Chain A
Amino acid sequence: MNFRFKSASLVAIAAAAVLGLSACGSGETATENPNSSAESAGEITVYNAQHESMTKAWADAFTEETGIKVTLRKGSDTEMSNQIIAEGEKSPADVFITENSPAMAQLANEDLFDPISDTVTEQVPEQYRPSTDAWTGVAARSTVFVYNKDMLKEADLPKSIMDLAKPEWKGKWGASPSGADYQAIVSAMLELEGEEATAKWLEGMKENSKAYKGNSAVMKAVNAGEIAGGVIYHYYYFGDQAKTGENSGNVVQHYFKNEDPGAFVSVSGAGVLKSSENKEAAHKFVEYITSTEGQNMLSEGTDWEYPVGKDVEPREGLVPLEELEAPKVDPSKLNSEKVVELMTAAGLI
């Protein structure tokens, strides 16, 4: 017996240990070969960039109703869209759900979606769907300027998000430029104001703003008075108020309205992948989450996002969507590739 043989056997033992681990160490989810089609017609994998608790609630209710098992994989919008593109034909994903539209538009541009069913188009009004019907909106979120009530008075508030690039805002505001959320806001600005204005504004942002990791951290910093204001989405404030309020006690929300780029309402998307081996179940899932029942869960949970289903009322306390005077933007036109390029050029990411 020579050394090579011995170490080969040791490696084999280690490999066996790994395989054994993957079979028994992962509790309820044994690793599956992504190629193998589910035994019953009842199993889908959802690549989920939406709030985990929300999607999990949808998945559990859906499984209870249909018997179809749902496995969630977690990630962020554009990380997952890139992953799906890299996986190509063989992607294990049946359904993709995001927090914002740009990642959905990216996959639609690559022609990776199976168009949504008529059931879905009946359930979701036109303004919350892309013009192409490659995917659908499932929830909405509004851009908001949060500010510290001890540091800013109403008269000092910016009239437009565009004002935040002006010198008087230097060092006074923050955002999470690395997040898909913020990049979606910039993609709306790009669509509405054009490349030159957006690039110039981003330079001002680089000069004026402090970068935080995540919108929660931005609100926390505003609350603590580290910065006077921040650009985030609306539901962080409501969520914190509903819990302990410890990160939002000094925070007030200011909606830009007036069809300002800063009044952008971002549509979260869901779509069925062409490469799915279980399209029927995948479509059922998208139909379920856009149904009255699925949309009502948005207004009942702890989530505070806006439902987009026909005749589903948003949660008590939220400013109704139609009063937000959001700019009109076709979600399928949002180009986050350009946004990343511009933000990279500005040195923000």
Chain B
Amino acid sequence: MSNKPGAGTTTARHPKGGWSKRSGPPVGVLTVGILISLGTLIPLGFVAVMTVNTGWETAYNLIVRPRVAHLLLNTVLLTLVTVPLCIAIGVLGAWLVERTSLPGAKAWALILAAPLAVPAFVNSYAWVSTIPSLSGLWSGVLISVLSYYPLVYIPTAAMLRRMDPAIEQSAASLGLGPWNVFRRVVLPQLWIPIIGGALLVGLHLLSEYGAFAMIRFETFTTAIMVQYQSTFNSSAANMLASVLVFLCLLLLLTETSIRGNARYARIGSGVASTPTILPLGRWRIPAIAVVVVITVLALGVPLVNVFRWLLAGGSRIWNTPELTTAVLQTLGYGLTGAIATTILAFPIAWLAVRYSGPATRFIEGLNYVTSSMPGIVVGLALITVTINFAFPLYQTAPVVIAAYVLLFMPRALVTLRTGLSQAPRELEEASRALGHSPLSSFFRVTLRLTAPAAAGGAALVFLAVSTELTATLLLAPTGVHTLATQFWSLTSEIDYAGAAPYALAMIVLSLPMTYLLYSQSQKAAGL
């Protein structure tokens, strides 16, 4: 029980391995981080072992075929079109509500975050039940952008609110115009949330199933799902999964190389002065039009349609005991999954921020690789492992939670990393200089500063869990039905009215979490 010399001690160490030159990370935290990350290797190992078992010739034939080319084209085009659009809409929206004289900016700030409470497959259901012929790439782009732009918007808006305006004001006083201030001072600071958000969007696109299955848009994940549902030896599906994992690695490498090592921290909490608000002038009407159009498409269409189906269904659709059960079970799994994931994400995020280097990058990266895999791959991997090595756990709740941790770790990591990168190391060091142990300093200083980010991360995980479909279908204990699985089985039967209460319940359940995210970023700004 001795205290190990930890972060920030000024003892010189040999810059060995991949650690940063300041000093090595505490062994305890490192061990925890490595253990958690090793757990994430289970699904990856599953895919790898299956690939080896398939044999090269079969593998080659299953990967190099026209269908895979078609899926690759679909997936790549979807990502290339959707991610930039999400960034553009997310950043534009954030800038409009935070830095311009947009009328009702405070309300719009919340409204623009709200589409996060509408799961992608509910969005898809709303659109496809209105325009049944919706299918293919552009429909996929439409649904994805409307569903996922908040992933960029929320962290970007939070950063804009927390940013020290003094730097901008200095730049302006040195004669830079508003555009140049934005380009040279603001944008570089937005880099972390934009890249983090874009990565999340990319991962969502790679692993989304329900939304694309509904509009008959084929990606690797929908194809894997089809193979798993209909094949006995899943080598075809595993080969598709290996290509998908490769795509994910590509995405992660891109993100890592763009992100760089920049540190943005300021001493003291709250914002020293209010940021300069840009008067919109004659741009006022177009600015209002932009936020209105986004809101109508991303929030109006799904809500109007859900209520349309609720009305069409009448009382029949509410008279199901399954609805109450599904709400309770979704709540339980969502909360537990969120808490477990956030706790486990802490050591990894801390290592990644405080000891940024190839090794910690690798540890962190493992979690992203796993989570990019479709839920069905994680589900089958966990089924295989529990059947063979831990049968008493088979088809029990802890395994479902483990799947959620594996799948949604990045959601907690991205927000935690942003929070940690803004919690200055110097404060922790000051606390230690005053005689506190490293651990106590961490709890007294850093944890308190990152609590909003942790809550935000937990909220994101809850959102993801409460709408997770494929792993839940596979792993849930017999007799457990969540809102997502019930909604899915009803829409598969084209019972749009019957599915409406479940869609509504998922939205209602997600709304407080979305609001929590929003208010946390408000608090961070000291408002």
- Chain A residues in contact with chain B, CB under 8 A? 1-7, 10-11, 14-15, 17-19, 21-22, 25-29, 31, 33-35, 45, 52, 71-76, 78-79, 81-83, 85-88, 90, 92, 106, 178-180, 183, 210-214, 216-217, 220-221, 224, 226, 247, 336-337, 340, 343-344, 347, 349
CB-contacts of B113-163 with A (<8 A): 132-133
Cross-interface CB contact of A3 among B28, B67, B332, B492, cutoff 8 Å: B28
Q: Write out the residue numbers on chain B whose beta carbons fall within 8 Å of the beta carbon of A210.
A: 216
Cβ contact within 8 Å between B336 and A3: no
Which residue from A76, A87, A90, A226 sits with its C-beta under 8 Å from B229? A76
Q: Which residues from B are CB-within-8-Å of A86?
A: 383-384, 387
Q: Any chain A CB within 8 A of the CB of B494?
A: yes
Contacts A26-B332, A78-B229, A336-B232 known; list 11 others, CB within 8 Å: A4-B31, A25-B332, A28-B479, A90-B391, A106-B232, A216-B492, A221-B132, A247-B494, A336-B230, A347-B66, A347-B67
| Residue numbers in B under 8 Å from A34 (CB-CB) | 391, 394-395
Contact status A21-B492, CB under 8 Å = no
Q: Mark B420-440, 1 if CB is under 8 A from A, else 0.
A: 000000000000000000110
What DSSP secondary structure best describes chain A's contact surface?
helix
Q: Tell me the nearest residue of chain A to B2, going by C-beta.
A: A2
Q: Given contacts A1-B439, A79-B229, is CB(A212)–CB(B216) below 8 Å?
A: yes
Instruction: State whether A2 touches B1 (Cβ < 8 A).
Output: yes
- A2 B478 Cβ-Cβ under 8 A: no
Query: Do A35 and B391 have beta carbons less than 8 Å apart?
Result: yes
Question: Is the CB–CB distance between B336 and A31 below 8 Å?
Answer: no
Residues of B within 8 A of A31 (CB): 395-397, 477, 480
The closest CB in chain B to the CB of A247 belongs to B494
Contact of A25 among B213, B227, B328, B479 (CB under 8 A): B328
Query: Which chain B residues have a beta carbon within 8 Å of chain A's beta carbons?
Result: 1-4, 26, 28-29, 31-32, 62, 65-67, 70, 132-133, 213-214, 216, 223, 226-232, 234, 236, 325, 328-329, 331-333, 336, 339-340, 343-344, 346-347, 383-384, 387, 391-392, 394-398, 401, 438-439, 442, 473, 477-480, 489, 492-494
Interchain CB contact (< 8 A) of A21 among B333, B344, B347, B473: B333
B387 contacts A87, C-beta separation under 8 Å? yes
Could you tell me if B480 and A220 are in contact, using CB atoms closer than 8 angstroms?
Answer: no
B346: chain A residues at CB < 8 Å are 7
29 CB contacts below 8 A, A to B, read: A1-B439, A3-B28, A3-B29, A3-B438, A3-B439, A4-B32, A11-B343, A11-B344, A17-B336, A25-B328, A26-B397, A26-B477, A26-B479, A28-B325, A29-B477, A31-B396, A31-B480, A72-B478, A74-B489, A79-B230, A86-B383, A180-B230, A213-B213, A216-B494, A217-B494, A220-B494, A221-B132, A340-B230, A347-B67
Known: A14-B339, A344-B236. A178 touches B477 (CB 8 A): no
A281 to chain B, nearest CB (A): 16
Complex-state Cα separation, A78 to B233, whole angstroms: 11
CB <8 Å contact, B392 and A33: yes
Whether A29 contacts B479 in the complex (CB less than 8 A), given A11-B343, A349-B226, comes out as yes
Q: Which residues of B contact A18 (CB under 8 A)?
A: 336, 340, 397-398, 401
Cβ contact of A29, chosen from B3, B336, B478, cutoff 8 A: B478
Q: Chain B residues with Cβ under 8 A from A33's Cβ? A: 392
Taking the closest CB of chain A, its distance from the CB of B499, in whole angstroms, is 12
Secondary structure class of chain B's binding surface, majority of residues: helix
Complex interface: chain A residues within 8 A of B231 (CB): 78, 82, 340, 344
Check if A211 sits within 8 Å of B29, measured CB to CB: no
Give complex CA distance A349, B489 in Å.
21
Whether B329 lies near A26 (C-beta < 8 A) is yes
**Chain B nearest CB: distance from A190 CB in Å?**
14
Residues on the B chain within 8 Å of A337, using CB? 232
The 6 closest A-B pairs by CB, nearest first: A25-B332, A29-B479, A22-B397, A216-B494, A178-B226, A4-B28
CA A33 to CA B1, docked complex, whole Å: 37
Min C-beta distance of B522 to chain A, whole Å: 27
Question: In the complex, A59→B62 CA distance in Å?
Answer: 42
B392 touches A1 (CB 8 A): no
Contact of A90 among B66, B230, B387, B401 (CB under 8 A): B387
In the complex, residue of chain B having the shortest beta-carbon distance to the beta carbon of A346: B67
Given A18-B340, A76-B229; A45-B478 close (CB under 8 Å): yes
User: Which residue in chain A gives the minimum CB-CB distance to B405?
Assistant: A14
- Chain B residues within 8 Å of A22, by CB: 396-398, 477
What is the CB-to-nearest-CB distance from B468 to chain A, in angstroms, rounded to a whole number?
A: 16
Within 8 Å by CB of B395, from A11, A92, A211, lies A92
Chain A nearest CB: distance from B220 CB in Å?
13
Contact A340 B232 (CB under 8 A): yes
Q: Nearest Cβ in chain B — how far from A320, in angstroms?
A: 26
- Which residues of the partner chain A approach B383 to less than 8 Å between Cβ atoms? 83, 86
Contact of B397 among A6, A19, A214, A336 (CB under 8 A): A19
> Nearest residue in B to A53 (C-beta to C-beta)?
B493
Q: In the bound complex, do residue A27 and residue B329 qualify as a contact, i.e. CB atoms below 8 Å apart? A: yes
A14 to B438, CA, bound (A): 24
Closest Cβ–Cβ distance, residue A102 to chain B (whole Å): 10
Residue in chain A with minimal CB distance to B497: A244
Q: Is the CB of A347 within 8 A of B332?
A: no
Residues of B within 8 A of A87 (CB): 387, 394
Report chain A residues within 8 Å CB of B328: 25-27
**Chain A residues near B216 (CB-CB < 8 A):** 210-213
A83 to B394, CA, bound (A): 12
Asked if A349 and B230 sit within 8 Å, CB to CB, the answer is: yes
How far, in Å, is B523 (CB) from chain A's closest CB? 23
Q: Which residues of A contact B480 (CB under 8 A)?
A: 26, 29, 31
| B contact residues around A78 at 8 Å (CB) | 229-232
Residue in chain A with minimal CB distance to B70: A347
| Other-chain contact of A214, B392, B394, B493 (Cβ < 8 Å) | B493
A residues less than 8 Å from B391 (CB atoms): 34-35, 90
Q: Which residue of B lies closest to A212 (CB)?
A: B216
- A274 and B298 CA atoms in complex are apart in Å by 52
- Shortest distance in angstroms between B343's beta carbon and chain A's nearest beta carbon? 5
Contacts of B339 in A (CB 8 A): 14, 17
A221 to B332: give the CA distance in the assembly, Å: 38
Which A residues are CB-close (under 8 A) to B28? 2-4
Q: Which residue of A lies closest to B396 (CB)?
A: A31
> In the complex, what residue of chain B is closest to A337 when comparing beta carbons?
B232
